[in-house]
Structure 1
């Protein structure tokens, strides 16, 4: 009888572990949405900076973008689990985004102010690193341990 109880307990523990693993895997998928939202903010801000009629509009768009990124950051910090290799993925995404954003801004403000042919492709290009990070994190089923 004691062996039967151990077997039942083991099966119950296995079922509990499988359920927890599924919950953790779903819980780690938040980064894909985070990255898509970041990409959208980047496109909006880049277009506004390049096509805005005044510094007031640029300042307002920058403030709104910073508030949205702040909200995303708070959201990210409150997630109980993170995608596997989250720190490396996020770091690579942000470094690539920063480099592209600076090239688009420096080139655009230097000679293409208000030129749709520069700012629209440039804005879309700034979205590529976070969208790649979103795709990578969405495909990663395993997650890191709870933080």
Structure 2
């Protein structure tokens, strides 16, 4: 600022450049959370399809499924504990998506073993359904990380003129 209380154009441009750099870093950082949610969304369908189509003892598949779920939960907890910055509202959205996928997975698994053991449509549809909440979360986060258009330089000049 000069003595008259007005802002120097160079200072204003530098401040805008700094803000844009911070925004770029945050977008790059939060993009990883969207990718993480999308990768995690593949876990539930993979295990369900293995249960449905791999010819193993259902008890062995149930134990393997429980272990895979425990590893996914532990991995998610460790990842969440190491986060330094997260997208706005990420924690409740992630918990909602993860718990919804987990609940759907459990329902599809139990009902499939009890009532739909030989129904490919049940297992494939259930696999897609269990992935949906985490796919939506990952897609939402990735869409939010797109770079917004830079402010028009003429508008910046007019604003600070």
- State TM-score, norm by structure 2: 0.70
Which residue is equivalent to 2:97? 93
Which of 18, 30, 51 in structure 1 is aligned with 2:53? 51
Query: What is the CA-CA distance between 1:103 and the residue it aligns to?
Result: 2.4
The gaps in structure 2 that reach 5 residues or longer are 147-161
Cα contact 1:28–1:82 (8 A) shared by 2:
yes
Secondary structure of the residue aligned to 1:28 is helix
Pairing of 1:16-35 with structure 2 (within 5 A): 16-35=18-37
The gaps in structure 1 that reach 5 residues or longer are 143-147
Which residue is equivalent to 2:155? none
Cα contact 1:43–1:126 (8 A) shared by 2:
yes
Query: What is the CA-CA distance between 1:69 and the residue it aligns to?
Result: 4.7
Query: What is the CA-CA distance between 1:27 and the residue it aligns to?
Result: 1.0
Query: Which stretch of the first structure deviates more once superposed, 63-72 or 94-103?
Result: 63-72
| Count of residue pairs brought into register by the alignment | 140
Cα contact 1:51–1:114 (8 A) shared by 2:
no
1:130–1:79 Cα change, 3 Å = same
Provide the alpha-carbon RMSD of the alignment. 2.8
Q: Of the two, which has the highest radius of gyration?
A: 2
Which residue is equivalent to 2:132? 128
Which residue is equivalent to 1:67? 71
Q: What CA deviation, in whole Å up to 9, does each residue of 1:69-123 have, x standing for no partner?
A: 5334433433332122112311321232133223212211111224323212211
Which residue is equivalent to 2:87? 83
Query: Which stretch of the first structure deviates more once superposed, 54-63 or 112-121?
Result: 54-63
Cα contact 1:31–1:137 (8 A) shared by 2:
yes
CA distance in structure 2 between the partners assigned to 1:99 and 1:67 by the alignment: 16
- State TM-score, norm by structure 1: 0.75
1:105 partnered with 2:109 = yes
Which of 102, 115, 119 in structure 2 is aligned with 1:115? 119
Instruction: Write out the 4+ residue segments of structure 1 that deviate beyond 4 Å after TM superposition.
Output: none
